[in-house]
Structure 1
Amino acid sequence: MRVTAVVFGLAFLLNGENVAAQSSDDPISAIDWLTESLSDPVAKPGGQEPVTPGIVTEPISVQPLNAPSPDGVGLLPRSVTGLPANLWGSSDRESLIRAIADFPVEPLPAVQDQFRRIMLAELDPPAWSSPDAPLLQARVDALLARGAVEEAEALLERTGSQEPELFRRAFDVGLLTGREQAACARMRAVPGISPSFPVRIFCLARTGDWPAAALTLESAKALGQLTPQEDALLAQFLDPELSELLPPTTAPTRPSPLTFRMLEAIGAPIPTTPLPLAFAHSDLRPTAGWKARVEAGERLARAGALPPDVLIAIYGERRPAASGGVWDRVAAVQTLNEALRAQDAQAVRAALPLAWERMVAAGLALPFARALAHEILALDTMGSDPLALRLGLLSDSYETVALDAASLPEALAFASSIASGQVAKAPQDALSQAIAAAFSTPVPPLPPELTGFLEEQRLGEALLSALKSLASGSDSDPAVLSGALAFLRAIGLEDTARRAALQILLLEQPA
C-alpha cells in the first residue's frame, strides 16, 4: 500500500511542482520559490472548523526597549556607502517596498552595484519599521533575486532576529549555500519556531535520525499534512530503493530550495540554468562538473554576484575537451592568460581581440575588464593599445587610466574625459550630448519628478527612481538619462555616475 501511495503521489510530481498563487496578504517583496518551512496550525479532520472558536487574543509583539530594528541592519557602514543615515526619510511602507521589489533584476552593471550597496547599507530604519522587519525582508529578497546569496546570509545573521519570515529566508539561504546542517541545527535551537513536516523530516534525516524521520513522515501522512507530491518525494528521500520502483522524476519548473536539495539527494538533480539565479551557487561547489561550474560562474558574474577573478579562475581549472559555445570562450581567455603569465606583450596583443569579442557576446565584458585590465596595461607597449585602454576605462581604476594615458584614439577621448572628471567636447550624437550635459558645471537642474521626492523628504525613493532610469543604459531616453546622471552627481554619487556613463559609452559601442 505504501508503495502504491508513493507512486500515485509521484504522478503529480511528474507534471512539475505547482506554484501557489501569492496571497494578497503576502509582503510585496515575497519571491515565489521560498520553502514553506514553518508549520501552519493543524486543521481539523475533514477540513471542518470547530463549532466554538474559543478564546481569541490579539497577537503580541515583543521587542526589547532601545533595541535596534532589524530594518536598520546592514553590512556596509555609511563611511563606505556615502549614503545619509536618514535615506528612507518620509517614505511610506508600500511605496518604498514596491520600489525595491519592482527594480530591474539585470540593469546596467554600475546601477546594479549601487542598488546592491543600498540593499546592504547600514541606515536608520524607517518610522514604520516593526519587529518583523518588512524592509529587511524586501532587501533580502532583492539580494536573492540577484544571486547575492552570501550577502543575504550575512545580513540575516547580523540581525539575530527570530521573526518567522526572516527565519524562513535564513533556512532557505542555508539550503542554497550547502550549509543545511547549520540551518537544521538552528531550526532545533530557536524556541517558538515550529518547522513544517517536510522540513522536520528533512532535518531529522540530515542529522542521522532516520527512524524518527520515517515515523514523522507516517504521522504527517496520517494527519493529512502532506500533499501527494511532498509525500512521494520525502518517501524517496528516506528510502533510495524506491527509485527502482518509481518512474524517473521530471524536474519541477519552480522548485523550492528544499525540493531542489531533496531531488539532488535522490540522484535526480535539477539543472540550475532555468532556475532563479540564487540556485546557481549550487553549481559552484567542487562536486559539480566543470561545465556546470563555468555556466554558473558566468551567470553570477554577469549579475555582479561573483567576483570577476573567481570567474577567470574557474575558466582556468582545466583544458576544454570540446569546442563551440562556452568552450570557445574559455579557450580564448586561457590563451590570453598564458600570454599574460609569460609577460609577452605581442602575444597579449594578438590574443586580446578574440577574448574580448567572445566575452562581449556573452555579456561578460565588464567582469573581463575588471579582472584583467590592470595586468594587461602593466605590460610594456600595451598602454597605448586602444582595446587595452577601453578595458582600463571599464575597470575600477578608470580615473587613473584616463589620467595616465599618453595618447588616446578619438573614439575613447570623450569617455576618457568623463573618467577623469574633465569633460571635453562631446560627439554630436544625442546620447553623448545628454551625458555631457549631465557632467557640466554646475550640475544642471534636476528633473521635476526627482525634486518632488526630495521636497517630500523621500531621498531613498528618488535615488531608486534615478537608478531605474539608467537601468536600460543606451536604450534609455537621453533626456531622462541625463537627468538621472545629474541627480547622482548632485547627491554625491559621482563615482556611480561616472561608471554608468562609461559603461553606456564603452560597453554598448563597438571597439
Structure 2
Amino acid sequence: MPIKQALLPLVAVFCLATGAVVADPLSAIGWLQQTTTTNNLPGTVLLEPPVTGSALQPQVIVTPLEALVTPVGLVSPSATGLPVDLWRGSRPSTLSRLIGQISVQDNPAMQSLLFTLLLSETRPPSGTGDQLLLARLDRLMQLGATDPAQALAEQAGPAQSIARFQRWFDATLLTGDEDRACAALTAKPYLSPKYEARIFCAARRGDWQTAALTLEAVHALDLLPKAQMDLLDRFLSPDVFELAPPLPRPQHPDPLTFRLFETIGERLPTAPLPRAFSAADLRDVAGWKAQLEAAERLTRISALNPNQLLGLYTDRLPAASGGIWDRVAALQRFETALNTTSPDAVAKTLPAVWQAMSEARIEVAFADLFSEQLSKIQLSGDVADLAWRVRLLSPSYETTALTLPQDSRKNRFLSALAKGTPNRVAATSALEQAIEDGFSEEASPPDDLQRLLESGQLGEAILNSMFLFEQGAAGNLSDLSAAITTFRAIGLEDTARRAALQLMLLERG
C-alpha cells in the first residue's frame, strides 16, 4: 500500500484513540465552558461596551491589536475535542521542551495522545513565531510519522522559511515525494543553503548541466567534505565509478545522504538509523523483509496504521523461518483460523500469535485488528481468558468488560478498571492501588497542574500529565495516580482507562 494512502486512516486512528468512549469532547467540559467575568478576560472584544456610571472621562488603555495566526493541524477541533487555542498562555520554549522530551515508547495510549496533540488544529501562543510548529514537526519525524510531518509542513507553508523547508524536504525524501520539494527549491533556491540539496534537485528535475556545474564549483572551492563530494560524484556520473569499490557507510546520514546512497545502488540499512528512516522501507523499492521490519518498528510507536501492517504480514507466504518469519507465519495461521470461525482452530493458534505479537511489542495493534472477530468466537478455559484480555486492549474495552471469562479477582479488577471504577475491587498490589487512587472521586490534580488548568494552559497541562505518567510507569506510583487524576479532570477518560489497562496487561521490561 503506498504511504500516502495510509495517511488519512492513520490520522483517524490518532484522534479516535484519545476521544473518550462515552465522554463529551473537551469543549463540553464544565470548567472550559464556564462564563468568566470580563475583568479576567485579557484581549477579549465586547460587542457592546459597558455603560459608564459617571460623567468623568474614562481612562483609555491602548493595546496593540494582533491578527490571529491561522491554526495549523491535520485534525479539526471537532474531531479531537481539543480547543484551537490549546497552547495559549504557555511559553513556546516550555512546550517545545516537553514535546521533545516526553517518552511514550512503552504505552500506546500515551502515543496516541501525543500524536493527537501534535496533529490537532491549533494556534501557537501569540507572537511566538515558528518555535512550536518546528517542535511539532521534529517530534513527528522522531516518532517516524514522516507522512503526517510532510502534510503538516505543507499545510503551514513549507516555503515560508528555511527551517520549515528543511523539515519538509527531509520528510519528502523519506516518503518518496521529493519532486514537490525540489520544484519549490528550484523556484526559490534561497530555501536551502546546502549545495548537495541544490545538486540533487537539479538532477531530479533533469537539469544535469546545472547540477554538474554546481558540483564543479563545490570541488573548486572545497565547499563540502570530501565524503559528500565523492558521493555526489557517483550520483552524477555513475558510469565512471561502475567498477569502483563501495563508499564507506556514514554513521549518521541525513535523509538526503540516505537517498543519494540509495540512488547509486548502495542502499543503507535503516535498522541502526533513527525511526524516520524506516518510512523509506515502506516503499516498493525495499524488499519484503525490510518492509516488514519497518512496519513493525513504526507500529511499535503507533506511527503506522495497523491495517497497513496487516497488509504486509499477509502479502505472501514467509520466505524462511525464525525471527520475523515466525511472526508472519503465526499471524497468517491465526487469521486463517479466525476466518473459519472454528473455536478449536482459534484456540490452537491464538496463544502462539499472541506470543509472537508480544515479542514484537505490537499487541495493541493486533487487538485493534482482531478484537471484533475474536469477540464472536466461543472459547473456554485459559484461551478464553487470553482472548478477553486481548479485547481489553482494543477500543471496545468497555463492552468487553461487561462479561468475565473466568471469575477471578484479577479479572474483576480489570473489568472494573475498564468501566472506570477500579475502586470496586480491592487492590492487591502497589500498582493497582496507585491506579485506584487515580480514579478516586475525591482525587484532584496536583496544585501546579490545577493552576495551569485554571489559567487556560490546557496543552501544557496535558503534556505535564504525560510526563507524570511516564514517571509513574517507571515506578513513581504517586506520579501515576496524579497523571490519571489529571487526565480525568481534563476529560481524557478514555486515555486514562486505556493507559492504565495497558500498564496492567502489557509486559514491558
What's the TM-score once normalised by structure 1's chain length?
0.81
Structure 1 match to 2:209: 211
- Supply the distance in 2 between the matched residues of 1:80 and 1:508 (Cα, whole angstroms): 32
Q: Percent identity?
A: 45
What SS does the aligned partner of 2:260 have?
Answer: helix
Specify the alignment match of 1:411 in structure 2.
Answer: 410
Alpha-carbon distance in structure 1 between the residues aligned to 2:253 and 2:121: 32
The answer for the alignment partner of 2:24 in structure 1 is none
The match for 1:460 is 459
1:275, distance to aligned residue in structure 2 (A): 0.6
Q: Report the equivalent of 1:115.
A: 114
Aligned to 2:276: 278
The alpha-carbon distance between structure 1 residues 105 and 91, as it changes in their structure 2 partners (threshold 3 A), is: same
Shift of 1:78: 1.9
State the alpha-carbon separation in 1 of the partners of residues 270 and 215 from structure 2. Answer: 28
Amino acid at match of 2:172: G
Q: 1:345 is matched with which residue: 324, 334, 343?
A: 343
Post-superposition offset of 1:190: 4.1
Instruction: Decide whether aligned partners of structure 1 residues 431 and 230 sit closer, same or farther in structure 2, where only a CA change above 3 A counts.
Output: same
Could you tell me which residue of structure 1 aligns to residue 48 of structure 2?
Answer: none
Q: Answer whether contact 1:488 1:496 (CA < 8 A) is retained.
A: yes
Q: Provide closer, same or farther for how the CA distance between residues 372 and 97 of structure 1 changes in structure 2, counting only shifts above 3 A.
A: same
Matched letter for residue 434 of structure 1: A
Residue type of the partner of 1:90?
G
Aligned residue number for residue 74 of structure 2:
75
* 1:294–1:314 Cα contact (<8 Å) kept: yes
Out of 347, 355, 358, the residue aligned to residue 357 of structure 1 is 355
Q: Any gaps of 5 or more consecutive residues in structure 2?
A: 1-64
Q: What's 1:289 paired with?
A: 287
Aligned residue runs from structure 1 range 33-432, under 5 A: 69=69, 72-104=71-103, 106-130=105-129, 133-161=130-158, 162-190=160-188, 193-244=191-242, 246-381=244-379, 385-403=384-402, 409-423=408-422, 424-432=424-432
* Structure 1 moving runs of 4+ over 6 Å: none
Alpha-carbon shift at residue 490 of structure 1 (Å): 0.4
SS of the aligned residue for 1:240 comes to coil
CA contact (8 A) 2:472 2:481 kept: no
| CA deviation map 1:282-321 (0-9, x unaligned) | 1111221111111001000001001112212211112223
In structure 1, what is the Cα distance between the partners aligned to 2:109 and 2:227? 43
Provide the rounded CA distance (Å) in 2 between the counterparts of 1:146 and 1:239.
Answer: 35
Tell me the distance in 1 between the aligned counterparts of 2:189 and 2:264. 31
Pair 1:125–1:321, CA change in 2 (3 A): closer
Letter in structure 2 aligned against 1:441:
E
Aligned residues: 442
**Counterpart Cα distance in 2 of 1:376 and 1:495:** 22
Larger CA deviation: 82-91 vs 377-386:
377-386
Task: Indicate how the Cα distance of structure 1 residues 509 and 159 shifts in structure 2: closer, same or farther if over 3 A, else same.
Answer: closer
* Displacement of 1:221: 2.0
**In 2, Cα distance between the equivalents of 1:213 and 1:191?**
13
Rounded to whole Å, the distance in 1 between the matches of 2:75 and 2:307 is 22
1-side partners of 2:228 and 2:189: how far apart?
A: 26
CA drift of 1:188 comes to 1.9
Q: Distance in 2 between matches of 1:67 and 1:278?
A: 35
Contact (CA 8 Å) 1:78, 1:85: kept in 2 or not? yes
The residue identity in structure 1 corresponding to 2:198 is: R
- The 3-state SS of whatever aligns with 2:239 is helix
SS at 1:303 equivalent:
coil
CA distance in 2, matches of 1:85, 1:203: 37
Q: Per-residue CA shift, 1:303-360, capped at 9, x if unaligned?
A: 1001112212211112223211111111111110111122222101110001101211
**8 Å contact kept, 2:427–2:436:** no
CA contact (8 A) 1:184 1:203 kept: yes
Looking at structure 1, the residues matched to 180 and 495 of structure 2 have their Cα atoms a distance apart, in angstroms, of 37
- CA gap of 1:382–1:308, structure 2 versus 1, over 3 A, is farther
Structure 2 length-normalised TM: 0.82
Q: What does residue 17 of structure 1 align with?
A: none
Distance between the aligned counterparts of 2:319 and 2:99, measured in 1? 43
In structure 1, stretches of 5+ residues that fail to align are: 1-64
> Which residue is equivalent to 1:28?
none
Task: Note the alpha carbon deviations across 1:35-57, whole angstroms, 9 max, x for none.
Answer: xxxxxxxxxxxxxxxxxxxxxxx
Q: Which deviates further from its counterpart, 403-412 or 500-509?
A: 403-412
Secondary structure of the residue aligned to 1:480 is helix
CA separation in 2, counterparts of 1:464 and 1:287? 38
Q: What is the one-letter code of the residue matched to 1:246?
A: A
CA distance in 2, matches of 1:144, 1:473: 26
**C-alpha contact (below 8 Å) 2:100/2:139 kept by paired residues:** yes
Q: How large is the RMSD of aligned CA atoms in angstroms?
A: 2.3
Q: Which residue of 1 aligns with 2:437?
A: 437
Q: Distance in 2 between matches of 1:308 and 1:382?
A: 28
Classify 1:103/1:475 alpha carbon distance in 2 versus 1 (closer, same or farther; 3 Å).
closer
Per-residue deviation, 1:160: 2.2
Amino acid at match of 2:396: S
Structure 2 residue 481 is the aligned partner of structure 1 residue 482: yes
Residue matched to 1:22: none
From the superposition, tell whether residues 402 and 191 of structure 1 become closer, same or farther in structure 2 (CA, over 3 Å).
same
Deviation of residue 416 (structure 1)?
Answer: 1.5
Q: What CA distance in whole angstroms lies between the structure 1 residues aligned with 2:378 and 2:275?
A: 40
Amino acid at match of 2:249: A
